[in-house]
Amino acid sequence: MQLCRFQDAAILDELREAWIDLLRRSSVDSPFLRPGWLRIWWEYFGEGELHLLTFEEEGRLIGIAPLRRIARDGHWVLETFSEEVTDYLDLPVESGREEEIAHALLAWLASPAAPEWDLLILWNIRGDSPMYPTWLTVAAAYGLTARAEPLTVCPVLSLPATWEGYLQMLSGKDRHELRRKMRRVEALGSVRWYILRENGPDAGEAIEAFLDLMAASSPEKADFLSERMRAFLRRAIRQGLQEGWARLSFIEIEGEKAATYLDFDYRDRIWLYNAGLNPRFAGLSPGVVLLAYLIRQAIEQGKRVFDFLRGDEPYKFRFGAREVPLYRIVISRPEESGSAARSG
């Protein structure tokens, strides 16, 4: 196995085709692990040193470890990056080769070729990821300590074959409430919903409408949407529209946008990334109704999963989702190994 290290972010563009091919061969393929997403994040938020490792066998890419090194709290930290805007992070690794790649990475980190480091942090690892148990068992072979720290949950909905079948999955109370809210909005008459999924002439206006409604939803979201974050999301959404997996959906009442979602139509599932709400229509629950339409459409299209992504908001469970735990894996060196961050 050949290991190479790259420290110029241009490698995220240069590896694009091979990277995407590797994702398709992995068990962790997601929009968040595509090179374009990580490249845009690095442009807006990248701090510290990039240490992107590739693992090849006979010229075939079998693993990638996108890491950065940053000084934090007196330690040198090597970590996966973009965790604040990325719900699932993992290493793109050919399925079945997870243990080999973990060994190769940790062996390299134990060698003189690696930079000084104290902690290796792997953010936002799903509890059902093949890499989750691998890190915990492999680290000890290198004299390292590994621990899994719970972060949050990602509610995930397994979709049945029909809409009626889905409704029967809900509790009687939740089913009644959902039908009532849908009927109430539909009775208004002047209601329409639609999805934009192309990077065409209407994309710019739709992106701004989404960001504005997101900011209007709550003070917390308004604070989150700094100018830099808005700029990142504009670019990331454009990239997703161009590549064919990002979607912006809206529901309009009396010609005015009442609610919106940004989701990702990727492989066998819909990934619900974020939402916006016009407070003027909050009493009509337009977000709930639009979400029901998206779930119904996903079922009709034969999707297997509707992933609500990070956060344990109650509405996700009222829609029938079940928890998938999310962890960060922290691998630490013995204290006596020292640290350039502390000594320098």
pLDDT tens digit string along 7-34? 999 999 999 999 999 999 999 999 999 9
Report in angstroms the alpha-carbon separations of 166 from 102, 285, 296, 323.
40, 20, 9, 18
What pLDDT is stored for residue 335 in this prediction?
75
Which residue segments constitute the domains of the chain, with CATH numbers given? 2-151+326-343 (3.40.630.30), 160-303 (3.40.630.30)
Report in angstroms the alpha-carbon separations of 245 from 18, 34, 37, 58, 237.
19, 11, 12, 32, 9
Strand order from edge to edge, sheet including 75-79: 2-6, 49-57, 60-72, 75-79, 119-126, 322-332, 145-158, 305-307, 269-277, 256-266, 246-253, 191-196
* Residue 315 φ/ψ, nearest 5 degrees: -60, -30
8 A C-beta contact, residue 105 and residue 93: no
What pLDDT is stored for residue 259 in this prediction?
99
Torsion of CA 298, 191, 259, 82, to 10 degrees: 30
What pLDDT is stored for residue 231 in this prediction?
98
Q: How is residue 117 written in tokens?
A: 């480091």
What pLDDT is stored for residue 334 in this prediction?
86
Q: Report how far residue 146's alpha carbon sits from residue 119's, in angstroms, rounded to the nearest whole number.
A: 10
8 A C-beta contact, residue 326 and residue 152: yes
pLDDT mean by block of 10 residues, the chain; 344 residues: 97 98 98 98 97 97 98 97 97 98 98 97 97 96 97 98 98 98 95 96 97 98 98 98 98 97 98 98 98 99 98 97 98 72 43
8 A C-beta contact, residue 252 and residue 206: no
Q: How is residue 173 written in tokens?
A: 């109370």
| E strand segments, the chain | 2-6, 49-57, 60-72, 75-79, 119-126, 145-158, 191-196, 246-253, 256-266, 269-277, 305-307, 322-332
Question: Residue 171, class by beta-carbon neighbours within 10 Å (0-12 exposed, 13-18 middle, 19+ buried)?
Answer: exposed
What pLDDT is stored for residue 336 in this prediction?
57
Q: Report how far residue 159's alpha carbon sits from residue 168's, in angstroms, rounded to the nearest whole number.
A: 12
What pLDDT is stored for residue 339 in this prediction?
55
Pairing state between β 119-126 and 75-79: parallel
What pLDDT is stored for residue 283 in this prediction?
96
Helix axis angle, 16-25 to 35-45, nearest 10°: 120
8 A C-beta contact, residue 251 and residue 259: yes
Question: Residue 310, class by beta-carbon neighbours within 10 Å (0-12 exposed, 13-18 middle, 19+ buried)?
Answer: middle
Question: Residue 316, class by beta-carbon neighbours within 10 Å (0-12 exposed, 13-18 middle, 19+ buried)?
Answer: buried
8 A C-beta contact, residue 128 and residue 325: no
